[in-house]
Amino acid sequence: MGLARRMFTKEFKLAAVQRLEQGVSLGEVPRALEVNSNVLHRWRREIRQGPGNGFQGMGSSAGRKAGPRTNDPPQLTSVAF
């Protein structure tokens, strides 16, 4: 059985990013909070995008657009070699 995905509150994420902004090293913050540095980078990027843009929700990437799902197979296009 795999590990469950950890969930962090918005307050926790903001506090973690604030520690970075205060000058605490990028190695120390994730180690102290037991999060991956890539996650911390993403949180900082989401906050910098502006108020209301950060931490949108569960399971959707900020760069991905959710569209209607269909059971139709993807359309193939021809490629010239």
Instruction: Give a yes or no: residue 5 inside a domain.
Output: no
Confidence check: pLDDT of 64 > 70: no
In a domain, 56, yes or no: no
Mean pLDDT score, 14-33 = 92
Sign for the pseudo-dihedral over CA of 39, 43, 48, 54: positive
Give domain status of residue 19, yes or no: yes
Task: Using pLDDT thresholds of 50, 70 and 90, give the confidence band for residue 63.
Answer: very low
Please indicate, yes or no, if residue 65 is contained in any of the structural domains.
no
Q: How confident is the model at residue 78 (pLDDT cuts 50, 70, 90)?
A: very low
Asked whether residue 66 is domain-assigned, the answer is: no
Whether 72 maps to a domain, the answer reads: no
Q: Which residue has the higher pLDDT, 77 or 26?
A: 26
Q: Which domain holds residue 20?
A: 10-48
The number of domains in the chain is: 1
The pLDDT-based confidence of 75 (bands split at 50, 70, 90) is: very low
Output the average pLDDT for the chain.
75
pTM for the whole thing?
A: 0.60
